[in-house]
Amino acid sequence: MIGTGAVVAQTAPLLAPLNAATGIFQYIWVLIALPLAGAIILLTTGSLLKRWGHIIGVATVGVSAILGIIMLLEMMGRSADDRAFGQTAFTWVFAGQFDVDVAFQLDQLSMVFVLLITIVGTLIHIYSIGYMAHDPDRKRFFGFLNLFIAAMLLLVLADNYLLLYVGWEGVGLASYLLIGFWQYKNSAAAAAKKAFVINRVGDVGLSLAIMLMFVTFGSVTFSSVFANAGEASDSTLTWIGLLLLLAAAGKSAQFPLQAWLLDAMEGPTPVSALIHAATMVTAGVYLIVRSNAIYDRTVFAATAVVVVGVITMIIGAIIGSAKDDIKKALAGSTMSQIGYMVLAAGLGPIGYVFAIFHLLTHGVFKANLFLSAGSVMHGMNNGVNMRRFGALRAAMIITFGAFTAGYLAIIGIPPFSGFYSKDKIIHAAFEQSNIVGIAGVLAAGITGFYMTRMIVMTFFGKARWEDDAHPHESPPVMTIPLIILGFGSAFTGMALVYWGDIETWLTPVTGLEERELAIPTVVLEMLTLATVLVGVGVAIWIYRRSVPIEPPQKVSVLTVAARQNMFDDAINDVVAVRPTWYTARFLVWFDNRAVDGFVNGLAAAVGGVSGRLRRIQTGFTRTYALVMVIGVLAVLTALGLVMLP
């Protein structure tokens, strides 16, 4: 991609060897082992410990969080080039030149993820105690949540791509189990399966990327792949980059693999907050930023990352603007916000740091928004239809306060979190290309619209409640995490800029580059803010006056499309589901009638067996030709593939 400005400053990533894990860092593995142990205990002890299950769940994650904080403090006390640690647990798999260890890498990038996962994870665990209090399977729920935390920590702590894959699919499994937690509902079971299968398409990308890395570099550890990336051919790097992007698109619900995320809202709300907003869905961003040594060397793949990010950023925002289901509106928003991060990650060293910065602030404020939405649902008989909400601010003042903090953070009002992180991305986008920059501003405007629509429909206007609704504030076990996350939404951005200095912190891992910009930063910030306020104003103008209980039918084509999630299911149906299904049906027929008939016929001829087998021969002559033709074609096609270089 052609930059618009001259490079002002540039820092390359450090590729220093990892420090041996000594002192507190000997316990990197404990970060993962604790929640894993929790999961095993909770999932294998049946109805034992039923009363204490949630305590085990919270405690294991909480202790991991404390351990993570201690490690952060220890790491901060060391110099910037001395903060990466490696720890080998044991040899995992080996054959010939293939040799992969179960080994961990804790550096500045994985550190911030560890904190996000364990701290937000702990808060969501605590909240779930209240949210799931009446569910007979609460213990199992905590088991799955712990399993998720362990897998996610493995994903960000692995020192090689194959081990990362275990975490990658582990979080996918946890997501599957939790989307389908209420699996007696057909819709939940179907949504869970859909999420897993679409993610498997992404996994094809990850699998092939790992294979290509191995045949290129002879290793799949981060350190040797990155150290030697410069020697690989352009086409190899481009392919690796594109395959990793496919993986990231699956996990992070990016175009064209986004269709599962809205359905995933079938899961309990804490799951939506933790997995489908704050952490798992951002794993794709982690993968791209972690692989910066690849993307820095392939303009084509990096540009593809930007394009995917921009498309998802826009369609997510549009979908979020048309949904009446509060969780689905938030899910559209999540797609859109991750689109921002992916876009930033595609910008290269200009954007990596800000992709992660926005990921962290978003992790906090989106968890906050989802848990607030959950608190609203808790007080509204689990209703999700915002057309039946309205005027709830008085009934649930703490929830309203938390939601407002999240609202101001996501639309980017200074000094709330999102202002810092999103503006940095828009700024970086303009450094690279005006079109991408303008898209970022536009999406910020739509964000202002859909979030205002959401807060107005839920908390303001007239009450449009169902007759049996008695809105009330949630218990403290739920509101305390909300208050903490509310403050987090307000201050995380500021803290990471002024106190944490996230740019300097991450630069040793990602590198950093700044370019000259034609317009001053302040003007750009004003422009963005003005666009956001236009979106806010339009939403207030439309939704402040009246919200019909039935969704209006005379709407624009865009609204129709947005209500249908931009026709993603229809497109998938035509492109993938139906062709697969028809092929499967044809092959079942083919196998029963043709192959079986043919071979039975042969067997009957050879063995001279009696009538029992002959009966199956009916249709033998009819299908004989078909078998030959299709069989020969299949073998020839496959032979052709074998002969390819």
Partner 1 sequence: MSNFPWLTTIGVIPLIGAVVVMLLPRSKGLLAKQLALVFSLIALGMTIAMALQFDADVTDPFQFSESASWIPALGISYSVGVDGIGLVLIGLAATLVPVVILAGWHDVDEELGSVKGYFALILVLQTLMIGVFAATDVFLFYVFFEAMLVPIYFLIGRYGGPQRAYAAVKFLIYSLVGGLFMLASLIGLYVVSGRQLGEGTFDFLSLVGLEMDSTTQRLLFLGFFFAFAIKAPLFPFHTWLPDAAKESTPGTAVLLIGVLDKVGTFGMIRYLLPIFPEASQFYAPVVIAMAVIGILYGALVALGQNDMKRLFAYSSMSHFGFIALGIFVFTNIGMSGSVLYMVAHGLSTAAVFLVAGFLMARRGGSSLISDYGGISKVAPVLAGFLLFAALSSLALPGLASFLGEFMVLLGTFQIYPWVAVVATLGIVFTAAYVLRFYQRTATGPVPAAYAPGSAHPMTDVKAREVTALAPLVLLTIVLGVFPTPALDVINPAVEWTQQTLGVVDPPPQIDTPGGGQ
553-592: contacts with partner 1 (CB under 8 A): 580-581, 583-585, 587-588, 591
| Interaction residues for partner 1, span 226-255 (CB under 8 A) | 227-228, 231-233, 236
Amino acid type, 362:
H
Secondary structure (3-state) at 14: coil
Q: Is 495 in the site for partner 1 (CB under 8 A)?
A: no
| Interaction residues for partner 1, span 67-96 (CB under 8 A) | 90-96
Q: How far is CA 44 from CA 53, 110, 524, in A?
A: 11, 30, 55
Q: Is 600 in the site for partner 1 (CB under 8 A)?
A: yes
Amino acid type, 576:
A
Q: Is 48 in the site for partner 1 (CB under 8 A)?
A: no
Tell which one of 41, 128, 131, 203 touches partner 1 (CB under 8 A). 203
Q: How far is CA 474 from CA 119, 166, 382, 393, 395, in A?
A: 21, 37, 12, 13, 10
DSSP classification of residue 182: T
Considering the complex, state which of residue 30 and residue 526 has its C-beta at the smaller distance from partner 1.
30
Considering the complex, state which of residue 170 and residue 349 has its C-beta at the smaller distance from partner 1.
170
- With CB under 8 A as the contact rule, which of the stretches 170-178, 475-483, 512-520, 535-543 interacts with partner 1? 170-178
Q: Is 212 in the site for partner 1 (CB under 8 A)?
A: yes
Considering the complex, state which of residue 228 and residue 385 has its C-beta at the smaller distance from partner 1.
228
- Tokens standing for 621? 């002559």
Q: Is 207 in the site for partner 1 (CB under 8 A)?
A: yes
Ramachandran category for residue 22: left, alpha or beta (phi over 0 → left; psi -120 to 50 → alpha): beta
**Helix-helix angle 53-76:108-115, to 10 degrees:** 150
According to DSSP, the residues that pair with 515 across neighbouring strands are 7
According to DSSP, the residues that pair with 102 across neighbouring strands are 90
Q: Is 24 in the site for partner 1 (CB under 8 A)?
A: no
Considering the complex, state which of residue 294 and residue 364 has its C-beta at the smaller distance from partner 1.
294
Beta carbon of residue 456, minimum distance to partner 1 (angstroms, whole number): 37
| Interaction residues for partner 1, span 126-155 (CB under 8 A) | 140
Considering the complex, state which of residue 233 and residue 546 has its C-beta at the smaller distance from partner 1.
233
Residues 460 and 462: their CA atoms lie apart, in Å, by 7
Q: Is 635 in the site for partner 1 (CB under 8 A)?
A: yes
Tell which one of 78, 200, 472, 622 touches partner 1 (CB under 8 A). 200
Residues 159 and 179: their CA atoms lie apart, in Å, by 29
8 A C-beta contact, residue 459 and residue 449: no
Q: Tell me the site size for partner 1, rule CB under 8 A.
A: 86
Considering the complex, state which of residue 172 and residue 535 has its C-beta at the smaller distance from partner 1.
172
According to DSSP, the residues that pair with 73 across neighbouring strands are none
Q: Is 52 in the site for partner 1 (CB under 8 A)?
A: no
Q: Is 201 in the site for partner 1 (CB under 8 A)?
A: yes
8 A C-beta contact, residue 187 and residue 266: yes
Considering the complex, state which of residue 43 and residue 494 has its C-beta at the smaller distance from partner 1.
43
| Interaction residues for partner 1, span 615-634 (CB under 8 A) | 631, 634
Peptide bond connecting 256 to the previous residue in cis, omega within 30 degrees of 0: yes
Q: Which residues make Cβ contacts (< 8 Å) with residue 552, sequence separation at least 6?
A: none
Q: Is 97 in the site for partner 1 (CB under 8 A)?
A: yes
Q: Is 2 in the site for partner 1 (CB under 8 A)?
A: no
